[in-house]
Amino acid sequence: MLAEMLENLKRKAPLVHNITNYVTVNDCANILLASGASPIMADDGAEVEEITSICSALNINIGTLNQRTIPSMLLAGKRANLLSHPVILDPVGAGASKLRTETAMRLVNELNLAVIRGNISEIKALASGGGTTRGVDADVADAVTETSLGAAADFARRFSEKTGAVIAITGAIDIVADSKMVYIIRNGHPAMSKITGTGCMLSAMLAAYLAANAESPLEASAAAVAAMGLCGEIAYSRLKEGEGNSAYRTRIIDAVYNLTPEALESGAKYEIR
């Protein structure tokens, strides 16, 4: 029951520590509040362990990473692991630069991650140690279609087995897998790709859902992914004539704010394989 995942989130109102990029950080904070969680952003090595200790989950996003923040990601991640807080990794742009690929791989290798969420190119880059990521967007050649879906689901399952993390590959069709089970989720709208940070926002939401549902990481992840896609649909349907990607962003966060557990349950379009 996905509804229960959101109910728990609203009831527990977890505090989520984010080490994230400066491009979409405000949207991540507002979508966490919209979800029912509270955000705190802190990236200095001198405080990240302490900050993560007072939180219930850690969201690491490597967009605009730098030499100062990379060690902070590791420090915070290790402390979160010690405290059994779920750690979410968003490997933004893995495959687009050596620094990003290597940092993401280091985080995968040195941390115990609860969820890794990215587009198919980023996750492939992580799994293979290289890749053809087109900046921060998925490479067209990689896109998950109905034809390639089976192979992509198997790939996610195997990568989950290898890493121990739930693997969330988001795109036109979303895949959320652990080593045994895969959710195929068909919510969302293509126009979401015209807003910066829908992926980052989802990763922040994943941290919130996981914090509130530590015992059900796969279902909590599926709930977060379905919630984001569903809110993308609701928001799109509310767009007025003359509105574009900026109003759409506002309407998505607003839809998350107004999403009830019942609406999530009835609006989520998924199958389990």
One residue of 1, 11, 22, 150 binding its own copies per CB under 8 A? 22
Residue placing its CB nearer to its own copies in the complex, 156 or 227: 227
Residue placing its CB nearer to its own copies in the complex, 158 or 238: 238
Q: Which one of 16-24, 178-186, 220-228, 263-271 is the stretch in contact with its own copies (CB under 8 A)?
A: 16-24
Instruction: Tell the smallest beta-carbon distance from residue 256 to its own copies (Å).
Output: 7
263 touches its own copies (CB under 8 A):
no
Residue 139's nearest CA partner among 119, 159, 155 is 119
CA distances from 72 to 89, 123, 261, 265 (A): 14, 22, 35, 37
**What 3-state class would DSSP assign to 138?**
coil
One residue of 66, 128, 260, 266 binding its own copies per CB under 8 A? 66
Instruction: Tell the smallest beta-carbon distance from residue 220 to its own copies (Å).
Output: 21
Tell which positions 75-94 bind its own copies, by CB under 8 A: 93
262 touches its own copies (CB under 8 A):
no
CA distance linking residue 164 with residue 172, whole number of Å: 25
Instruction: Tell the smallest beta-carbon distance from residue 203 to its own copies (Å).
Output: 16
105 touches its own copies (CB under 8 A):
no
Q: Which one of 111-119, 146-154, 161-169, 251-259 is the stretch in contact with its own copies (CB under 8 A)?
A: 251-259
Residue 14's nearest CA partner among 74, 80, 66 is 80
* Cβ pair 118, 198 in contact under 8 A: no
The bridge status of strand 182-185 relative to strand 57-61 is unpaired
One residue of 105, 149, 247, 263 binding its own copies per CB under 8 A? 247
170 Cβ contact list (under 8 Å, min separation 6):
117, 118, 119, 199, 202, 225
Assigned token pair, 86: 């779920």
* Cβ pair 135, 96 in contact under 8 A: yes
Assigned token pair, 114: 């609860």
For the chain, what is the largest distance between any 2 Cα atoms, rounded to a whole number of angstroms?
Answer: 51
197 touches its own copies (CB under 8 A):
yes
One residue of 2, 6, 15, 120 binding its own copies per CB under 8 A? 15
Residue type, 5: M
Per-residue contact string for residues 123-152; x = within reach of its own copies by CB under 8 A: -----------xxxx---------------
109 touches its own copies (CB under 8 A):
no
CA distance linking residue 187 with residue 35, whole number of Å: 18
One residue of 1, 11, 44, 151 binding its own copies per CB under 8 A? 44
CA distance linking residue 105 with residue 103, whole number of Å: 5
**Site residues (vs its own copies, CB under 8 A):** 15, 21-27, 29-30, 33-34, 38-47, 50-51, 54-55, 63-68, 93, 96-100, 134-137, 194-197, 238, 242-247, 249-258
